[in-house]
Amino acid sequence: MTKVSMTVNGKPAQAEAEGRTLLSSFLREELGLTGTHVGCDTSQCGACVVHVNGVAVKSCTMLAIEAEGADVATIEGQAAADGTLNIIQQAFQDHHGLQCGFCTPGMVMSTAALLQENPKPSEQEIREYLEGNICRCTGYHNIVKAIMAASGQDVSAIAAE
Partner 1 sequence: MPKDSDQIESGIGASPKRREDVRFLTGAGNYTDDINLNGQAYVYFLRSDMAHGRIISIDTSDAAAMPGVVQIFTGADFEAVGGIPCGWQITDKHGEVMQEPAHPVLAQGKVRYVGDAIAAVVADSLDQARDAAEAIVLDIEELPAVINMKAALKEGATKVHDDLTSNLCYDWGFVEENKPAVEEAFAKAAHVTTLELVNNRLIANPMEPRVALGDFNRATGDSTLYTTSQNPHVIRLLMGAFVLGIPEHKLRVIAPDVGGGFGTKIFHYAEEAFCTFAAKALNRAVKWTSSRAEAFISDAHGRDHVTTIQLALDSDNNFTALRTDTHANMGAYLSTFAPSVPTWLHGTLMAGNYKTPLIYVNVKAVFTNTVPVDAYRGAGRPEATFQLERVIDKAARELGVDPIALRRQNFITEFPYATPVAVEYDTGDYNATMDKLEEIADLAGFAARRAKSEARGLVRGLGVNCYIEACGIAPSNLVGQLGARAGLYESATVRVNATGGLVVMTGSHSHGQGHETSFPQVIAEMIGIDESMVEIVHGDTANTPMGMGTYGSRSLAVGGSAMVRATEKIIAKAKKIAAHILEASDADIELKDGQFSIAGTDKSLAWGDVTLAAYVPHNYPLEDIEPGLEETAFYDPANFTYPSGAYACEVELDPETGKVSIERFAAADDFGNIVNPMIVDGQVHGGIGQGIGQALLEAAVYNEDGQLLSASYMDYAMPRADDLPFYQVDHSCQTPCTHNPLGVKGCGEAGAIGSPPAVVNAVVDALQSMGKDVTHVDMPLSPARVWAAMNG
Whose Cβ is closer to partner 1: residue 120's or residue 136's?
136
Residues 44-63, mask of contacts with partner 1 (x by CB under 8 A):
xx-x----------------
Q: Does 111 bind partner 1 (CB under 8 A)?
A: no
Question: What is the Cα–Cα distance from 17 to 63, expressed in whole angstroms?
Answer: 9
Q: Does 151 bind partner 1 (CB under 8 A)?
A: no
Instruction: Tell me how many residues contact partner 1 (CB under 8 A).
Output: 62
Whose Cβ is closer to partner 1: residue 67's or residue 150's?
150
Question: What is the Cα–Cα distance from 92 to 144, expressed in whole angstroms?
Answer: 9
88 with 151: CB under 8 angstroms? no
Nearest approach in angstroms of CB 119 to partner 1 is 19
In the three-class reduction of DSSP (H, G, I as helix; E, B as strand; rest coil), residue 54 is classed as coil
Pairing relation of β-strands 49-52 and 71-73? antiparallel
Q: Does 66 bind partner 1 (CB under 8 A)?
A: no
Nearest approach in angstroms of CB 54 to partner 1 is 19
Residues 76-95, mask of contacts with partner 1 (x by CB under 8 A):
x-xx---x-x---x--xxx-
What single-letter DSSP state applies at residue 26?
A: I
Distances (CA, A) of 160 to 82, 87, 121, 122, 157: 33, 22, 21, 19, 8
Tell me which of 37, 57, 67, 150 binds partner 1, using CB under 8 A. 37
